[in-house]
Amino acid sequence: MSAPKNPTTADELRGAGLRVTAARVALLETVREGDHLGVEALASGVRARVGHISLQAVYEALQALATAGLVRRIEPPGSPALFEGRVGDNHHHIVCRSCGVIADVDCAVGHAPCLTASDDHGFSIDEAEVIYWGLCPACSTTSSS
């Protein structure tokens, strides 16, 4: 009996009901290999893999991937939209006030939605978004010297 085959990126796209294209495969792989990347950086990564792709095509593909739950869009205040491949665990982020570097922070409680609202106003809450702010180690060292 053979070991179960790991799904390919194309399999994941098909499983999410998305059409498989070279650009979508390259984009999903670029997001997953990156770290909270903006659209310009993602477009560059896709172009390095498959050649020309318009910025509009990247935006449209990111929207489709985010809607399908294959990538996560985050928008820290004062920052353009960023995309990451870590999905489905309702983790949070910490942002450096000085250089803007972003790091993942695991859920405060361990399961979604991680926080209980003091008043849910009748909503069925399924996600909480928390952004911690501070100085990263490099910026902390710079500011104290």
Q: At what angle do helices 22-33 and 39-50 cross, to 10 degrees?
A: 120
Q: Is 107 annotated as a binding residue?
A: no
CB-based contact 85:31 (threshold 8 Å): yes
Neighbours of 91 (CB within 10 A): 17
Q: Is 136 annotated as a binding residue?
A: yes
CA distances from 98 to 3, 27, 75, 131, 136 (A): 48, 29, 17, 15, 8
Q: Is 114 annotated as a binding residue?
A: no
Q: Is 96 annotated as a binding residue?
A: yes
Cα(71)–Cα(120) distance, integer angstroms = 27
Q: What residues form the annotated binding site?
A: 96, 99, 136, 139
Q: What residues form the annotated binding site for Zn(2+)?
A: 96, 99, 136, 139
